[in-house]
Structure 1
């Protein structure tokens, strides 16, 4: 009996030591804001004790585009598009709750309607009535859900490797997401998040991992460890995704553009085709050389597609008034 107790105590000591050796603490809030904010960064008081980080950039007189990032991402994922489209369009981006420089939601809510209401608050703050909503991955899910919930605030929707399609073919979540779904991940990830885990997850999201830079990996890793974001990631994963809403996607009335990386292993191309089949008169464009994040891998192609599509939407809207 005494021997068993000694073994248990030894294991506890070893595990405790391993925890302190491997532990990756939160980053410093002030330091992260200084490092990853820019002159366009603003923080909107949400009325619940939180502050939503957003940017309002580009041509203030141009058509507004609202950019919604995916899970474990951040508004910087849109920086290439802001550069490419900013001369012509007003580019509005935000860090959703539990991401980037916004941090966790003080109310603990991470459902679609909460995210949509947060995005609408940003539109109100910058004085924009309607915008083209552009969303990637979970942000794409929020985007098409916004088309159902607040159609009067949407000029059109762009779904980039969006989640939410209810079909048999499923993808393979990246390593970090797989760990977050396990009991060991639930236990350890709020305290232990090694950099290689973030890098591996990003590599699985890129068709050509060599496009990843160390600077980009550092940004994802450091902002994942922004105070409260790791626990928010786990809490967000427990939020019901309301799969029954897929049955309403065909009722979307606004123009819809669907963009997809053909090498996406997280949300396979079959989901793009499901969206295209379900949404009347939607437009589907795919990229042979992109994975789950085409706006980061092939931003020129994505920017060109969005620009051409908005031009066509505007031309069709104006046509009945001509002549």
Structure 2
């Protein structure tokens, strides 16, 4: 199996073929506390594992770039063997290839800052097969008492290694659905659930990675015009090559798939989950190889297996760890990314933060 990918280097005109290995894996990212260290050296570190998909055998701890930065890390998405990571404390975004252990740091973007503003972010990551380019989209939305609603949509191109601003998103994204992985990539379109001005779930917003424009995908008729009080969560995903939708409506949760993309009447409800766990479901990860089980991600940062014969759940252990688990599926490839130093910048930021904290403590002591 081969993927047509850019051979990324300083010469962006070079185009080549990179082998794509047939191994699939699930990524687990969580904080691990080194309890054996004495204070003040005790620290939390983000640990990233890969393992064979379905069997979860052969777990391997990866030396990802944030490993020794002592900062929470979010896995935003995965596409064609690359993973988009974000350092939560410092806002750095980077593309990481776990197979080749190479990465690219994305240029840092500014953020609206005001005590009266509420800012949240949504991200998307995918591949444009026409321009043969990996792209990341960052949607920043905020509500300000002084300025009202503000929006900024920025798109990053790995080929040009720069951001550009595009047209604003046509609706607001509910903070209820806000998270690092609440969207879904399908057909080179990235999808999120949107709301209208009356706080009603009324559409799915799709961003086309090719022409960098937004469009709308209708919800199932049964779910249209439902307010937040009627739905505790609505999440898009991808299952079997179809757009999927998990609708958490107490006391059950419905899993829908869009059999024919873009056709409203093709939405089909394939499962209804009726247990307490169903209220924490976020998205399907995929069927097992034998198609007897369905892997599901939950808001509890766990991965559950739903047996399609017994209709029972099983919480999956991963690498002997029962903490937060952020599963992502990827296909290995040999794409080499340009290595970019940024660890020293992270450490420098941490030192500056420690110095500021010491100055604040000294000022408080002086004032008292």
TM-score greater than 0.5 by the shorter chain: no
TM tier, shorter chain?
Answer: under 0.3
TM-score, normalization: structure 2?
0.23
Identify the structure with the greater helix proportion.
Answer: 1
- Greater RCO between the two (CA within 8 Å, min separation 6)? 1
TM-score, normalization: structure 1?
0.26
Identify the structure with the greater strand proportion.
Answer: 2
